[in-house]
């Protein structure tokens, strides 16, 4: 059954059944029968709950910053995300502080670098004390009705009792479970719509919707498995091969990267032109499925008269190589791996400021304080990120010019550990497990493809030392 058909069935059932206990009083009757799409949450009472926005945090898995139409991609179809961008703010320079799933998700929740939250692998859980200072826990304490749908991504027991609504799962999950014809994206969408219909009208809500897509299906013959209805999408397209997806670029890598897990996964996905076209098209098809899910969510909010007072944040846990440098996966400090999509639609943004694409360097650790700021909740002192609300509202606060990057998960020695600094022009990477430490210095202005390592060039010795000093300073600040 197609997702849209399932969603319509859920909507009809919910309007006649699930919301029945809430349809009390004249205001609620108006909510059901009014045809005015401009009114917001008519059944919500006046006061604190009505003043605080609902919040949706969409998180994809392994989605690049440039895999949206609004980001300049001429092939992929993302009309709903493009529409969100036109209604809100697109951040052109969003980055993760660690490019791997579990660590990055912990940073989203806590607003902290990995060396502070100490989730460095797929087994470590956030302690009860640490979870109490995450944005979902703080919003629930502040009176929000909270829900989680999709991939949890951290170790330990699932935090089912820490949310009012739980439809999460451990591990990676599968796009098609054995004996189940429903695609995971469809299933998550259905669960999200159920959350909206069950959410009490008298309280603001927070929904964290965490997709598996467009993560590959590890171990499956077809690495990226889209919904059946999208299998013919992009069939007539030819995906351009990245300029750095060459043997020359691969041979410029140090030997430990040439022998890394990134190369192993390249061989599984992109080793021939046919494999490349098929894999990237399926990757795009998974993202189009996510886009359709976002559209269904917005449509349902419109029907429930709650869209106008709902803030939406859309991003990913990390980036993804599509063959650049002869690599696949993420982990390493190249732009394809660390740069993310970020769309924020905030209901109080003046119309004159909507649809902007802005440049500030923003990070995964900024999301938690931003969500708390939207809700009027003070961020804990331990959060290291900063609220993006001022930028969304058109302000230009003093802002970071560089950030510290760290990646200490080595996957049986197959993912070289690294730290570094990404600045506006210069990028400095240290592969800290090599002996001696291997350094890379790239001039992003002159060499945006990061093909020419300048660390060994005497002409750039002073710049290299400056970046080392900056790494030491930012590393200490990230503690």
The class (CATH top level) of 3-20+54-403 is: alpha beta
Residue in the structure block whose two tokens are 């010795």: 461
Fold of 417-479: Arylsulfatase, C-terminal domain (3.30.1120)
Mean pLDDT of 218-236: 93
pTM of the model: 0.90
In this predicted structure, the answer to whether residue 195 has a pLDDT above a threshold of 90 is yes
Which pLDDT belongs to residue 13?
42
Average pLDDT estimate for 415-435:
96
Lowest mean pLDDT among 13-17, 50-54, 249-253: 13-17
* Amino acid 353: pLDDT: 98
| 22 has a pLDDT exceeding 60 | no
Cis omega before residue 83 (within 30°)? no
pLDDT value at 448 more than 90: yes
Which of 32-41, 198-207, 377-386 shows the lowest per-residue confidence on average (mean pLDDT)? 32-41
How does pLDDT run across 24-41, given as a tens digit for each residue? 333 332 222 233 323 233
The domain limits of the chain are: 3-20+54-403, 417-479
Give the pLDDT band of residue 14 (cuts 50, 70, 90).
Answer: very low
pLDDT at position 4, please? Answer: 53
Please state the rounded mean pLDDT for residues 195-212. 97
Burial of 248 (0-12, 13-18, 19+ CB in 10 A): exposed
Q: What is the pLDDT of residues 272-301, one digit of tens each?
A: 999 999 999 999 999 999 999 999 999 999
pLDDT confidence bin for 1, thresholds 50/70/90: very low
Is 376 a residue whose pLDDT tops 90? yes
Residue 21 has pLDDT above 70, yes or no: no
For residue 462, pLDDT over 90 is answered with yes
The more confidently predicted of residues 24 and 352 is 352
Looking at residue 6, its pLDDT comes to 46
Whether the CA torsion 259, 269, 415, 171 is positive or negative: it is: negative
Confidence band for 20, pLDDT divided at 50, 70 and 90? very low
User: What is the structure's pLDDT at 41?
Assistant: 31
Going by pLDDT thresholds of 50, 70 and 90, the confidence category of residue 62 is very high
Find the mean pLDDT for residues 7-35: 37
pLDDT over 60 (residue 380): yes
Contact assessment for residue 389 and residue 373, using Cβ atoms and an 8 Å cutoff: yes
Torsion, CA 276, CA 319, CA 106, CA 197, rounded to 10? -80
Tell me how far apart the alpha carbons of residues 347 and 357 are, in angstroms, rounded to a whole number: 17
- pLDDT of 429 over the 70 cut: yes
Q: Tell me the torsion sign for CA atoms 370, 136, 79, 32.
A: negative
Is the distance from CB of 421 to CB of 471 less than 8 angstroms?
A: yes
State residue 472's pLDDT score: 98
Q: What confidence score (pLDDT) does residue 446 get?
A: 98
Query: Which residues, 6+ apart, have CB-to-CB distance to 411 below 8 Å?
Result: 261
Task: Give the separation between CA 217 and CA 53, rounded to whole angstroms.
Answer: 36
* Portion of the chain with pLDDT greater than 70, in percent: 90
pLDDT at 29: 27
Indicate the pLDDT class of residue 8, thresholds 50, 70 and 90. Answer: low
Q: Mean pLDDT of all residues in the chain? A: 91
Is 44:50 a contact under the CB 8 Å cutoff? yes
Number of other residues whose CB lies within 10 A of the CB of residue 94: 25
User: What is the C-alpha end-to-end distance of the chain, expressed in Å?
Assistant: 49
Please compute the mean of the pLDDT values over residues 358-372 and round it to a whole number.
Answer: 98
pLDDT at 192: 98
Same CATH fold, 417-479 and 3-20+54-403? no
């Amino acid at each position: 059954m197609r997702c849209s058909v399932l969603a319509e069935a859920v909507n009809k059932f919910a309007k006649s059944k699930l919301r029945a206990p809430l349809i009390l009083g004249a205001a609620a009757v108006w909510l059901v029968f009014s045809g005015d799409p401009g009114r917001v949450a008519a059944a919500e009472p006046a006061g604190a709950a009505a003043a605080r926005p609902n919040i949706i945090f969409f998180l994809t898995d392994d989605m690049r910053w440039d895999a949206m139409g609004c980001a300049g991609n001429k092939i992929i179809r993302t009309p709903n995300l493009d529409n969100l961008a036109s209604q809100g703010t697109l951040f052109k320079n969003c980055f993760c502080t660690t490019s791997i799933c579990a660590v990055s998700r912990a940073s989203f929740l806590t607003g902290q670098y990995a060396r502070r939250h100490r989730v460095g692998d797929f087994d470590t859980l956030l302690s009860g004390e640490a979870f109490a200072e995450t944005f979902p826990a703080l919003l629930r304490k502040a009176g929000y009705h909270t829900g989680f749908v999709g991939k949890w991504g951290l170790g330990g027991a699932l935090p089912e009792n820490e949310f009012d609504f739980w439809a999460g799962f451990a591990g990676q999950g599968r796009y098609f479970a054995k004996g189940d014809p429903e695609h995971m994206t469809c299933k998550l969408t259905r669960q999200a719509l159920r959350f909206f219909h069950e959410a009490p009208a008298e309280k603001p809500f927070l929904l964290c919707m965490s997709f598996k897509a467009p993560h590959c299906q590890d171990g499956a013959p077809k690495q990226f498995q889209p919904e059946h209805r999208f299998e013919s999408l992009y069939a007539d397209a030819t995906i351009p091969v990245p300029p750095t997806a060459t043997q020359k670029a691969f041979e410029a890598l140090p030997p430990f990267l040439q022998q890394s897990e990134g190369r192993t996964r390249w061989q599984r996905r992109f080793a021939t032109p046919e494999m490349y076209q098929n894999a990237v098209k399926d990757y795009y098809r998974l993202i189009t499925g996510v886009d359709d899910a976002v559209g269904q969510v917005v449509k349902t909010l419109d029907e429930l008269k709650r869209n106008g007072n709902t803030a939406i944040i859309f991003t990913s846990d990390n980036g993804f190589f599509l063959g650049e440098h002869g690599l696949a996966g993420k982990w390493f400090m190249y732009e394809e791996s660390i740069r993310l999509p970020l769309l924020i639609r905030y209901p109080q943004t003046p119309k004159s400021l909507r649809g902007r694409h802005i440049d500030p360097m923003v990070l995964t650790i900024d999301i938690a304080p931003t969500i708390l700021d939207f809700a009027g909740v003070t961020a804990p002192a331990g959060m290291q990120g900063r609220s993006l609300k001022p930028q969304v509202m058109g302000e230009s606060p003093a802002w970071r010019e560089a950030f510290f990057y760290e990646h200490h998960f080595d996957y049986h020695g197959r993912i070289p550990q690294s730290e570094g600094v990404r600045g506006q022009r210069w990028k400095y990477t240290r592969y800290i497990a090599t002996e001696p430490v291997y350094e890379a210095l790239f001039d992003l202005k002159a060499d945006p493809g990061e093909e020419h390592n300048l660390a060994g060039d005497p002409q750039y010795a002073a710049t290299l030392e400056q970046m080392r000093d900056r790494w030491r300073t930012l590393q200490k600040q990230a503690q």
